[in-house]
Amino acid sequence: MAMISIKGLTKRFGDLQILKGVDLTVAEKEVVAIIGPSGSGKSTVLRCLNFLEAPSSGEIFIDGKRLGYEDDISGGRKRLKDADLNRQRAEIGMVFQQFNLWPHKTVIENIIEAPMLVRKTPRAVAIETGRRLLDRVGLLAKQDVYPSTLSGGQQQRVAIARSLAMQPKVMLLDEVTSALDPETVREVLDVIKALAEEGMTMVLVTHEMAFAREVADRVIFMDEGQILEAANPAQFFSSPTHPRARAFLEKVL
């Protein structure tokens, strides 16, 4: 069953076309790694998947439901009301390069805020869930501290726990290790690997080629706003078929 379906996705910013007709299907429990050079459109795909950017054209379906739009009486489409869009977004967890934690709230307060506001989860239940998730990412002892006291790797693990607190159907991860010191990268990647093993559907943009090879079920190579190749990691990293993919791997491996 397709958890994510992208059909003919394009995105323009003025005269600049970033995405040029992206088609991609991600099965339930599948982990897809999107790689490619800077400016290829990788992060824009993720931002469209969470409707942080509205597609210029094309459609996105999450668990069978069209994202961001509904049919109008003229036979076209109209953007969903904010309340309906926020309900859709609640099903889609996203973790960014920067941690985006609220500095004036403790770790546990960062985690319980969205479930209480969006899902109307009772505070006691949200705290219990938050503590369980912090334990899952190895940070239960840090529940009452402020983000500024944490390392970058610890803050990113809190950000992952915060996304998981919404019980999303899909997790999107955008270069989540790019702002980290090399010493803390592995602790974050281990958390993501555990999520993959537990069956979370994930799309991750990464520059960590070894990690993409290790955790992904499928690797997508993008350049200039298009998907040029899609293959399982063993095939892609040993014998890519597209010349641009071969040239890219020669530079980064």
Q: How far apart are CA 91 and CA 103, in angstroms?
A: 25
pLDDT over threshold 90, residue 75: no
Residue-level pLDDT at 80: 94
Low-confidence winner among 36-45, 108-117, 137-146, 179-188 (lowest mean pLDDT)? 179-188
| Confidence at 147, pLDDT banded by 50, 70, 90 | very high
Amino acid (one-letter) located at 249: L
Name the pTM for this structure: 0.94
Q: What is the pLDDT of residues 114-146, one digit of tens each?
A: 999 999 999 999 999 999 999 999 999 999 999
At 102, is the pLDDT very low, low, confident or very high (cuts 50, 70, 90)?
very high
Q: Please list, in sequence order, all residues whose beta carbon lies within 8 angstroms of the beta carbon of residue 59, skipping any fewer than 6 positions away.
A: 5, 6, 7, 8, 9, 66, 67, 69
Specify the pLDDT at position 72. 87
User: Rounded mean pLDDT of 41-45?
Assistant: 97
Confidence category of residue 179, pLDDT binned at 50, 70, 90: confident
**Mean predicted confidence (pLDDT) in 3-32:** 97
Query: In angstroms, what is the C-alpha Rg of the chain?
Result: 18
The values of phi and psi at residue 131, to 5°, are -65, -40
**pLDDT class of 68 with cuts at 50, 70, 90:** very high
